[in-house]
Structure 1
Amino acid sequence: MLSLMKYRFLCMIKNKSLMFWTLAFPLILTTLFASVLRGAYDPDEFKTISLAVVDSAYYQKDETLKNTLSSVQMNDKSMFDLQIVSENEAKQLLDDKKVDGVISDGESIKIEVNKNNINTTIIKSFFTEYEQKAEVVKDLMMQGKSVDEIMNLFHQTQNYITQNDIEDHDLSSVFFYTVLAMVCLFGGQWSMYAIYDIQANQSSRAARLAMTPIHKIQYLFTDFLLCMVFEMVFILIVYSYMAGVLDIAFGEHVFAILAILLAGCLSGNALGTLIGCATTQTLGFKDGLLTSITMLGSFLSGMMMVQIKYLVQLYIPFVNYINPVAMITDGLYSIYYYGIDERFYTNVFSLIILIIVCYSISFFLIRKKSYQSLEAR
């Protein structure tokens, strides 16, 4: 048994293609993600909003508005980058997309924007609040309040960026969670190659192994252990690199994280085993099939675009219960945001069901295989 494990181990580590796709490629991908995406979805990363103000007689007389716009801040930064221009210049700046919005002061404040995004939403929310408070100013002035007291009212503006109790949550973490899930599924290539090496009708090496006195179950058990060791070692390397070097947040529940990663590795192993048993096509075809399933699952889980994850949940939620990448990603997501709760257990339970189904079908297919003749080449 130990001798068999030794030689199967030597065969596996010489497979440079698998070593690259299951270890080197995820490390490269996470490094690229970290350089491009970190902070891109951080709600606290506020950028000053460019705003054009029409230089009218109303605006010149409105000292409250002028003082408010020049002094209001968000996260210790000026909220607005103001350009005081004529009406024609303001429209041109808006058409050229050099400003996020244009305001003109009159009997009421008019707002113009040419697209809907977070900045235009902030502009609309800010001036809606401003006009509501403008009525209060009249009463304060009638009561003889000072300018400083009036200005303090406008400085008590709500936070338009985020208002929740979760600190330092960065939605870009979802991209990194999908990479870990992808690595778990890519790990299925090890088991798929192992099945290829014991199916006597698929390779000459398997035909030679079939004529040895070692039972097929012994080969399967040995390869299963080695595949799981390879998968877990590689996934832990990628996880440690993310958490320790790239400083990706995963939460404090380390054992829960390891549990979902173990379940993910088992699901990848089970899927690779099923593909290896279910088709007699070439190894290249099987490899392409597993890669296609993995990449489609990664896309639907938000790897390329984080909003896809929520659109799938909104319109076709059943997909998330048959997509192992989504289960792993959502399991990691729920640990970080909500801790160990019902959502975490649902994802683990769904993965276990998927693993049992894949292994059961694979076992049925393997035990039904028999060969009339074998020619070892």
Structure 2
Amino acid sequence: MLASLRASVLSLARDKALLVWALAFPIIMTLIFMGMFSGIQDAYTTVGSTLGVVRDKNYSAAMGLDETIQAISDPASSDRICDVAYYESAADAEAAANAAVVDAYLTVDAGGAPQLHVTNASLSENGTLPTSVLAEVLDTYQHTRAAVEKVAATRPELLATGEAIGAFTESAVQTVRLTATKNPPSPDARYYYALLAMAAGMGATAAMESVRRLLPTAGPLGARQSLAAVPRWRMLVGALLGAWLCEFACLLVAVLFMRGVAGVSFGSDTHGVVVALAASSLMACAAGALCGTAPRMETGMISGITCLLSLFTGLYGTSSQQLADAIEATAPALAHANPLWQTTNCFYALLYYDTPDAFLESVAALLIMALAFLALASFRMRRTSYDHL
């Protein structure tokens, strides 16, 4: 077994296919993803805007509106959501909005109700988030003002000391960040995790080549090995362990590159990441060993199967992710039978879940798949003989 392991490691260390698929491929794709997703984080952050305010007599008469605008535009405040530019008339503010000087402008009608005006160009460039935030602030202002006016009409004595006004205005608008996952959501993490799963699947070719060297059809060396007194399963396990060590080392380097250079988050459980890499690479090598016992199996077939399975991990974009999510929702057993999905889910569980249950389930599924592939490969190896082939 040790001799088979040593021979497998030495041969794979000189094999360009392993270095290309298990090491160079994820690193190159990581660099490509870095360029593609360089601005994706900005889309998940609050987009600031410039608000034009028509400061006329209606605006001045609106109780508390100017204080509200100053509060949300104060550079020193944590509640700042926009910059403010003041105009004398609605025509001037509209001209500024059409010229893209401001993203929206605010007017006040004769009844004291604020009106927010937004151009289509601003919506196309900045999206609806800035407008939604401003609209929410104005709605809160109107509700607060209506409540104050109602109290003034029914219980004016409550306003004498100013405590009621303070109760209405203090923390009237609050922004609370809620965290539903252990770590903040990362929109591009799914692509990197699916990439690691694909790299692990591609690494199965290393195990296939190692096992194929043990077959009698591999040449004189394979023929002598098939007639040796060493049990076939020992040679198989040695070749499998050699391929697993090489692939695990390549994937570990790829993960370190993703975390150190691309800034990909894998959570705080470093040991869990190592376990996930070990389980996924072992599963891939066991599958490669099974494929290696099939004389007609080619490396291109493994690449094709891996690319097909990667479709259901969300690697190929939004449509691929929607398809993967739909299958998981409607046919979870089918999704869980995909070994690359289990690999991706291992990293997802480490990043987002508070409990290790989902992670342990995916690791257990990968180990069960590895044992099943290894048992089938051992059975097929025992049935091969030089005379028969």
The TM-score bracket by the shorter chain reads 0.7 to 0.9
The one of 310, 328, 348 aligned to 1:333: 348
1:23 counterpart letter in structure 2:
L
Q: State how 1:179-258 maps to structure 2 within 5 Å.
A: 179-200=195-216, 206-212=218-224, 213-214=227-228, 216-244=232-260, 246-258=262-274
- Structure 1: which 5+ runs fail to align? none
Distance 1:220 1:166, change over 3 A: closer
What is the deviation of 1:220? 1.9
Bigger mean CA deviation after superposition, 208-217 or 294-303? 294-303
Give a deviation string over 1:319-375, Cα, whole Å, max 9, x none: 43122233222222222333443222222233233333433444444444456676x
- Tell me the distance in 2 between the aligned counterparts of 1:307 and 1:77: 36
Residues 1:320 and 2:335 aligned together = yes
Change (3 A) 1:112 1:270: farther
Match of 1:153 among 160, 169, 184: 169
The residue aligned with 1:164 is 179
1:122 aligns with 2:157: no
* Alignment map for 1:5-44 (pairs within 5 Å): 5-34=5-34, 37=37, 40-41=40-41
Q: 1:219 to 1:44 in 2, by over 3 A?
A: same
The answer (yes or no) to whether the contact 2:55–2:86 under 8 Å persists in 1 is yes
Partners of 1:81 and 1:339 lie apart in 2 by 39
The gaps in structure 2 that reach 5 residues or longer are none
Structure 1 partner of 2:286: 270
Distance change (3 Å), C-alpha of 1:87 and 1:229: farther
Higher mean Cα deviation, 333-342 or 261-270? 333-342
User: What is the TM-score with the length of structure 1 in the denominator?
Assistant: 0.75
| CA shift for structure 1 position 225 | 1.1
Alignment of 1:133 onto 2:149: no
Whole-Å separation in 1 of the counterparts to 2:321 and 2:84: 32
3-state secondary structure, aligned to 1:267: helix
Residue identity matched to 2:365: S
Would the aligned equivalents of 1:297 and 1:324 in 2 still touch at CA under 8 Å? no
The separation in 2 between residues aligned to 1:199 and 1:125, in whole angstroms, is 71
Given that 1:175 and 1:303 are in contact with CA atoms closer than 8 Å, whether structure 2 keeps it comes out as no
CA distance in 2, matches of 1:318, 1:120: 43
How many Å separate the matches in 2 of 1:319 and 1:117?
38
Q: Could you tell me how far apart the structure 2 residues matched to 1:359 and 1:100 are?
A: 62
What CA distance in whole angstroms lies between the structure 1 residues aligned with 2:331 and 2:57?
Answer: 55
Q: Residues 266 and 105 of structure 1: is their aligned pair in 2 closer, same or farther, counting only changes over 3 Å?
A: farther
- Paired positions, count: 367
Would you say the 8 A contact 2:49–2:103 is kept in 1?
Answer: yes
Q: Which amino acid aligns with 2:253?
A: I
| Structure-1 separation of matches of 2:192 and 2:171 | 38
User: Partners of 2:51 and 2:182 in 1: how far apart?
Assistant: 29
Could you state the TM-score of these two structures normalised by the residue count of structure 2? 0.73
2:205 partner SS: helix
SS at match of 1:78: coil
Deviation at 1:313, TM superposition (A): 4.1
For the structure 1 residues 373 and 358, does the alpha-carbon distance in structure 2 shift closer, same or farther, using more than 3 Å as the test?
Answer: closer
Larger deviation: 70-79 or 214-223? 70-79
Return the offset for 1:83.
5.8
The letter for the 1-side match of 2:144 is: K
How far apart are residue 31 of structure 1 and its match? 4.2
| Contact 1:300 1:308 survives alignment (8 Å) | no
Give the corresponding residue for 1:343: 358
Give me the identity figure in percent: 21
Asked whether the equivalents of residues 13 and 246 of structure 2 are also in contact (C-alpha less than 8 Å), the reply is no
Offset at residue 129 of structure 1 (A): 2.8
Q: Secondary structure at the match of 2:267?
A: coil
- The AA in structure 2 aligned to 1:334 is A
CA distance in 2, matches of 1:211, 1:217: 16
Task: Say if 1:342 and 1:45 are closer, same or farther in 2 by CA, change over 3 A.
Answer: same
Give yes or no for contact 1:227–1:269 (8 Å, CA) kept in 2: yes
Does the 8 A contact of 2:233 with 2:382 survive in 1? Answer: no
Q: Structure 2 counterpart of 1:187, which letter?
A: G
Partner of residue 260 from structure 1, selected from 272, 276, 290: 276
Contact 2:5 2:240 in 1 (8 A): no
- Does the residue aligned with 2:265 lie in a helix, a strand or coil? coil
Verify the 8 A CA contact 1:228 1:266 in the aligned structure 2: yes
Summarize deviations over 1:249-278 as a string: whole Å, max 9, x none: 333333333222221112222333344445
SS in 2 for 1:250: coil
Indicate the structure whose relative CO is greater, using CA pairs within 8 Å and at least 6 residues apart. 2
Report the equivalent of 1:76: 78
Alignment of 1:359-370 (within 5 A): 359-369=374-384
Gap change, CA 1:361 and 1:70, over 3 Å in 2: farther
Displacement of 1:190 in angstroms is 1.2
- Kept in 1: contact 2:309–2:338 (CA 8 A): no
Q: Distance in 2 between matches of 1:29 and 1:244?
A: 15
Aligned mates of 1:16, 1:247 — CA distance in 2: 28
Structure 2 residue 314 is the aligned partner of structure 1 residue 299: yes
For the 8 Å contact 2:336–2:342, the answer to whether it is kept is yes
2:238 aligned partner, one-letter code: T
What letter matches 1:345 in structure 2?
L
Determine helix, strand or coil for the equivalent of 2:219.
helix
